[in-house]
Each structure stands twice: as C-alpha cells, then as structure tokens.
C-alpha cells in the first residue's frame, strides 16, 4: 500500500492507503519528490471544478525519481534518475492530435483532474510522459509544468522582441507568461490586485506593475503606450471583467490570448474584434517543446526561481496545504516535498 492524499469532499482532504498500481509494459514507477499545487487543485478543494469527480487524488505538477521500470522501457529510464511529469494524455486520433496540437486533445485526462494525480508516495506512468532531468535542483522540477502553460500561451501569442505586452493576473500562469515574454525581449506590463505578486512580477522583469484595485487599468496602459494599447494582451485571471478588458487593452492590429478559464459567461461588445482586426486565441496546457523551453530557462536563472515558491509543506503535513492556500490567496506556489 502507498499513502495518498485525497480530496474527499468540499473543504476536506485526508490521507488514505491505496493499492500500488501494477507496473505494465512501457510504464515507469516514479517516487514523487516534489509536487506543486495548481489553482485547479484549489478549485477542486473548494468544490468549484466541474471536471472532477470526488474523491480524487490531486496534483499534476510533479518532480520525482524513477523507482522501477516495466518491460520494454528504454534503458535511459534507469532507477534513481530524476524526472519531470507531463501530466496530460493525448488520444492521437482527434482533430487536435492529428494536427500535432497534442496539448489540446479533445479527450485529454489531466492527472489530478480527470484521473487521480500525483499527491502520493508513488505514481505509475507511461515512460513517454516522463522527461529525464538530473541537472535542475529537484524542487525546481515541480515548477516546470505550471510555467510551461504560460510559455505555451506566449508561443500562441507570437510574442516578439520589442512587443508591448500586458499580463492580467500574476498567479503562476501569468508569471510564466511574463517570464517567457521578457525572455523574448518584450516590454511587459503586469496587472494584479496583490502587492506581493506585483513585486514578484517586477523582480522577474515587468517594466510596470499596475494595481488593478486602485488604478484604472485601461487608462494606465493607454498612458504607458502613448494611447496605442499593447501588441499582445494575456488574460490569466479567469473573470468576465478581465476577459473583456483584454480586448480593450489590445492595440489596433493586436492579439489577445486567453489562458484563464472564466466560470461565468462573458458578455462582449464585439465591434472591436473587427475594428481592431484582433487575433483572439485560446491557450491550453503545453507541448513538449514548451516544457523544454522552461527547462532551459530554469537552468539559466538558477536559484532565482526559488522566489516563485511561496511555501513548502512536508508530505506528512500535506493535509494542511490546500486549507493554507485557501486562506492565503496571495501565495504564488505551494510545493509539497517528500524526503527520499
Ligand atoms: Zn495546473
Ligand atoms: Zn486527441
């Protein structure tokens, strides 16, 4: 038996002993070492995630170590090597998969969402979902997936050197957008209600950070861009007000990328879709090349990435982690750590 944390009901998590999954052909048994909590895990905990059926083991931001391999697995996947988990599935047959857009598979089952996740001592996964990495510090492996979602959004938005960019919402996804856009030479304006998150955004290269609670965001961005608006506006909050604001912030001939999920319907005045001839894009999950880009970037910035981790809980105290985040919403990333 292995220990796993389950979200049993709204506001209730508890450790359970669950049977070890059998190790089939092509599969690898991974000892979970670090696991980050995602906003989607918090939504599940609050009973606000319609994709999840309870009880569910949450967690899809996973760094670990290979414990054992099943038959037919490449010898590179040797016990003791460290891995980053790609927590999505792709059917290979839907239209997205056929176009090579595996991140948007119609039948995707993300770990911890549509199937049990990684907040456990071990998890068994197909070898092709594991990225070997023995060079990054182990606790940074859990940062790769959430940052890659932001990196993918920046790829979608075709952000280029010299672009002016606004990022609405500086949670971990917005921070990934910011970091990737800055790395491409864009000038990034960050917007958030939280002072801590704005400070962190500036630490990671935002040229301006606007307090959405006190300032008129559209007026301020207009002022900062000489009345033009931005080349690319990213929505990483998930509220109707920021969905429509992104349209207002984009320049004529600009682009809008939606990476946040709005739970409520959004009402638009659509004329600016046409008048500005906007490219409006959705962005979902991430591709292998986004993961690789994040890994390279983390290798470059080294210890600086530690600033993205707000709090670490030992695995034994994982029950406290979601309630803690619920009452400390300014926390950017909470990581659970398991000793070897
Ligand atoms: Zn996530
Ligand atoms: Zn598919």
Ligand at minimal distance from the CA of 89 is 2
Same fold, 2-134+309-337 and 158-282: no
pLDDT score of 329 = 94
* Percent of the chain residues past pLDDT 90, beyond the cut: 98
Residues with Cβ < 8 Å from 147, sequence gap 6 or more? 172, 175, 176, 179, 180, 294, 297, 298
Ligand at minimal distance from the CA of 99 is 2
Q: What CA–CA distance (Å, rounded) separates 178 from 190?
A: 8
- Secondary structure element (H or E) that encloses residue 28, with its range: strand 27-36
Q: Report how far apart, in Å, the C-alpha atoms of 122 and of each of 56, 70, 115 are.
A: 15, 15, 15
Q: CATH topology for 2-134+309-337?
A: Quinone Oxidoreductase; Chain A, domain 1 (3.90.180)
Of 166, 122, 179, 228, nearest in space to 332 by CA = 179
Of 156, 188, 120, nearest in space to 289 by CA = 156
pLDDT score of 50 = 87
pLDDT score of 183 = 98
CATH code at 158-282: 3.40.50.720
3-state SS, residue 37? coil
| Ligand 2 geometric centre to CA of 94 (Å) | 4
pLDDT score of 340 = 63
pLDDT score of 2 = 96
**For residue 5, what are its two tokens?**
């944390």
**For residue 151, what are its two tokens?**
């990196």
| Ligand 2 geometric centre to CA of 49 (Å) | 22
DSSP state of 121: S
pLDDT score of 187 = 98
| Ligand 1 geometric centre to CA of 147 (Å) | 9
Kindly provide the ipTM of the predicted complex, given to two decimals: 0.97
Residues with Cβ < 8 Å from 332, sequence gap 6 or more? 171, 172, 175, 196, 197, 200, 308, 309, 310
pLDDT score of 230 = 98
Low-confidence ranges of the chain (pLDDT < 50): none
**For residue 171, what are its two tokens?**
């949670």
| Ligand 2 geometric centre to CA of 287 (Å) | 13
Going from N- to C-terminal start, the domains of the chain cover: 2-134+309-337, 158-282
């Amino acid at each position: 038996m292995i220990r796993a944390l389950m979200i049993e009901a709204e506001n209730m998590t508890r450790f359970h002993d669950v049977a070890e999954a059998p190790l089939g052909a092509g599969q690898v048994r991974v000892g979970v070492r670090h696991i980050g909590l995602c906003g989607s895990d918090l939504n599940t905990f609050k009973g606000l995630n319609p994709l999840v059926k309870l009880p569910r083991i949450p967690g899809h931001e996973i760094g670990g170590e290979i414990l054992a391999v099943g038959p037919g697995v490449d010898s590179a996947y040797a016990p003791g090597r460290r891995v980053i988990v790609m927590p999505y599935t792709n059917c290979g047959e839907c239209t997205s998969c056929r176009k090579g857009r595996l991140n948007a598979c119609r039948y995707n089952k993300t770990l911890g969402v549509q199937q049990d996740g990684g907040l456990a001592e071990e998890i068994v996964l197909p070898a092709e979902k594991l990225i070997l990495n023995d060079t990054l510090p182990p606790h940074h492996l859990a940062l790769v997936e959430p940052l890659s979602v932001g990196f993918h959004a920046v790829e979608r938005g075709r952000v280029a050197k010299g672009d002016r960019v606004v990022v609405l919402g500086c949670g971990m996804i917005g921070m990934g957008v910011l970091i990737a856009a800055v790395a491409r030479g864009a000038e990034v304006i960050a917007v958030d209600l939280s002072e801590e998150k704005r400070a962190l955004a500036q630490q990671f290269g935002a040229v301006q950070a606007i307090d959405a609670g006190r300032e008129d965001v559209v007026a301020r961005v207009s002022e900062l861009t000489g009345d033009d608006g931005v080349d690319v506006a990213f929505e990483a909050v998930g509220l109707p007000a920021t969905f429509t604001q992104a349209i207002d912030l984009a320049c004529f001939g600009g682009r809008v990328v939606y990476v946040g999920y709005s739970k409520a319907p959004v009402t638009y005045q659509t004329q600016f879709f046409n008048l500005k001839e906007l490219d409006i894009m959705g962005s979902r999950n991430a591709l292998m090349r986004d993961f690789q880009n994040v890994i390279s970037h983390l290798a470059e910035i080294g210890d600086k990435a530690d600033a993205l981790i707000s709090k670490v809980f030992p695995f034994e105290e994982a029950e406290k982690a979601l309630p803690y985040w619920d009452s400390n919403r300014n926390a950017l990333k909470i990581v659970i750590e398991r000793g070897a």
